[in-house]
A and B are shown apart, each in its own frame.
Chain A
Amino acid sequence: MSNGAVAIAGRPILRGIDLSVRSGEFVALMGANGSGKSTLVRALTGLRPLAGGALSLFGTPYDDFHDWQRVGFVPQRGGAASGVPASVWEIVASGRLTHRRLLRPLGRRDRAAIAEALDVVGLAHRARDGVSTLSGGQQQRVLIARALAGEPDLFFLDEPTAGVDLPNQQILADTLETLSERGATIVLVAHELGPMAPLIDRAVVMRDGRIAYDGPPLASAEVATAHLDGHHHHHHEPERHDHAPHVASPIDGAR
């Protein structure tokens, strides 16, 4: 994303966001409540339209991007229940949609991917159970398995550990470690890193809709003060215009 801006109902929320995530990176988006970290993830996935700036995914401008099977999204959610009972397996199976064509039944590869996703999050034994009978932490793992089933290269997770106890956070962290080792790119929104702290390659701290820090991981006490040591003045630098496409996205093998 370059010079990205997001306005909600006319109010500018995010301003001047320049962020590029390289392939295979594990990035944590951090910051206080209302700092814009969730809005940023929603803008990165295209759920929030940009008021200004440009977004490209895998080097393709957002408007031309159709390769959604490479992107996995785990929304911020209290639970996974809806008006009609749904089994864990069915929810995870809906993550396979990006690979399925209309009116085609699930193939053997699809079933294998669903079974593996359930295995990774450790819920294979609950596959047939209704999702509403699961605990909050387990439901969060179901949502992660759903994103996993699509076998994406790039994951966006919006506060997967919110309201989840420590043992479940540990299982989440182990899952993300497995993914990261397989070469997946992970962008994680988190209030607190907890057991995921050792996995992070890079921390981005948001403050009031702008990036206040972007660099190596911080201890959580430093997050609150990260904006203090970088006192930025707004310099009116002449904007660089060239005709080469500006790539602000993961490129395979760039690392």
Chain B
Amino acid sequence: MSDFLDLLGLPFMQRAIIAAVFTGLAAPAVGTYLVQRRQALMGDGIGHVAVTGVALGLLTNSSPTWTAVVVAVLGAVLIEVIRERGHTNGDVALALLFYGGLAGGVLLTGLAGQSAARLNQYLFGAITTTSPGDVIVVMVLAAVIVLVCVGLSPQLFAVAQDQEFARVAGLNIRFYNVLVAVLAAVSVTVAMRTVGLLLVSALMVVPVATSQQLTRSFRSTLGAAMVLGTLASVGGLLLSAYASTYARVAPGPTIVLVALAGFVVAWPVGVLLRSRHRLRRPFPVVEVAAHEVIDEHPHDHGKDCGHVAVQHGDHVDYVHGGHRHAPHGRHYDEH
């Protein structure tokens, strides 16, 4: 345990924790809008395109982070344009970029004379090798993403919810669509150091999937996803650091698996809550055709009888073996 605390005191570990916090906040913020637009795989597509960006950086000996930002933004805008023109299926457009980006990246890395291990840092993350300069870039980009996602949330929500309505409300649809694409591209490159380009989409989508099991409104989904994303990325990092004394545990995959574990826990809870909510929703008040009395009833319905009580107008119906029993004087009516 004291080894673990010593490890936390090391500068590279502290930088990694800061990077994890900011990435965990920013990625699900963008991810919420992507999921709302039913583009959950968009982050993945951009991630693959960014591989080419990283390789370009390695080839030209410039910072792979910045070349990845530029190439990812271009790729995201391209996906958006193909989607807007609409003739190619959005899925197909994504697939084309997936393969092009990944193949181009691996080819360019080879041309640059770099080993696969160097590229692996970007594919699967290498949060503990983050330099002070990298941390500042991650902090600034993540802060911009969070500010835009929260500050412009009414506009982004309206555009993602219903494009036609938003356009008649006078919003510039194309601007907001491209904005979301650019935000997604930037958050991909921000999360590149933490979980890696191939797993980046997980940090954008999994916390959103988890939080929407339990939420009913958009704002609470967004907020909960950001909290869950931070918990997962910091928790996964600490877990991998703790386990590293026993085995080689990579932080990137650990973060993703922690996030997935959160979903596995939340999913049955969500299913249970939703079915409870459905069972207890009041029955609609409709004029009753006939007064149907139940002859004999084995027990009195009440608070603790074990049958689900559902509000029905001015009284309560008890759901009993597929029937609805309503108390009426000394007997029960069939409702």
Question: CB within 8 Å of B: which residues of A?
Answer: 42, 45-47, 66, 68-69, 71-73, 75, 77, 80, 82-87, 89-91, 93-95, 97-98, 100, 102-103, 128-130, 133, 143, 146-147, 150, 156
Contacts and interface: CB of A to CB of B under 8 A. Distances in A.
Contact of B160 (A77, A82, A89): A82
Contacts of B170: 66, 68-69, 98
Given A84-B36, A128-B217, A91 B161 contact: yes
Contact of B218 (A68, A87, A97): A87
Contact of B158 (A73, A75, A97): A97
A167 B203 CA distance: 46
A85 B37 contact: no
B216 A129 contact: yes
Contacts of A69: 170
10 contacts: A42-B164, A46-B167, A73-B164, A73-B168, A82-B36, A94-B154, A94-B165, A97-B155, A133-B216, A156-B168
Contact of A82 (B38, B152, B171): B38
The 8 A-B residue pairs whose C-beta atoms are closest, nearest first, are A68-B170, A87-B217, A73-B168, A130-B216, A94-B158, A84-B36, A86-B218, A83-B38
A84 B221 contact: yes
Given A82-B38, A84-B221, A89-B217, A102 B152 contact: yes
Contacts of A150: 169
Nearest to B215: A85
A85 B218 contact: yes
Nearest to B164: A75
Interface of B: 32, 35-38, 40, 151-152, 154-155, 157-158, 160-162, 164-171, 208, 212, 215-219, 221, 277-278, 281
Nearest to B213: A85
Contacts of A86: 157, 161, 217-218
Contact of B37 (A83, A95, A103, A128): A83
B167 A94 contact: no
Nearest to A100: B154
A68 B154 contact: no
Contacts of A143: 165
A71 B35 contact: no
A147 B168 CA distance: 10
A150 B221 CA distance: 25
A103 B217 CA distance: 20
B304 to A, nearest CB: 28
A146 B215 CA distance: 21
A100 B166 CA distance: 13
A102 B219 contact: no
Contact of A47 (B154, B168, B216, B219): B168
Among A84, A85, A94, A130, the one with the most B-chain Cβ atoms within 10 Å of its Cβ is A84
A45 B161 CA distance: 18
A150 B216 CA distance: 24
* Residue among B152, B162, B167, B168 having the largest count of chain A Cβ atoms under 10 Å: B168
Given A45-B168, A82-B36, A93-B154, A75 B162 contact: yes
Given A82-B36, A102-B155, A90 B217 contact: yes
A79 to B, nearest CB: 11
B220 to A, nearest CB: 9
Contacts of B151: 103
Contacts of A133: 216, 277-278, 281
Contact of B221 (A66, A75, A85, A100): A85
Nearest to A65: B170
Contacts of A91: 161
B131 to A, nearest CB: 34
B35, B152, B155, B158, most chain A CB atoms within 10 A:
B158
B169 A98 contact: yes
Contacts of A77: 162
Given A85-B217, A89-B217, A90-B217, A47 B38 contact: no
A194 B37 CA distance: 35
Contact of A75 (B35, B152, B165, B218): B165
Given A82-B38, A85-B221, 12 more contacts: A75-B165, A80-B161, A80-B162, A82-B36, A83-B36, A83-B38, A85-B212, A85-B217, A94-B154, A97-B155, A133-B216, A133-B277
Contacts of A146: 165
A73 B38 CA distance: 23
Contacts of B219: 90
B216 A68 contact: no
Contacts of B165: 73, 75, 94-95, 143, 146-147
Contacts of B166: 94, 97
B161 A94 contact: yes
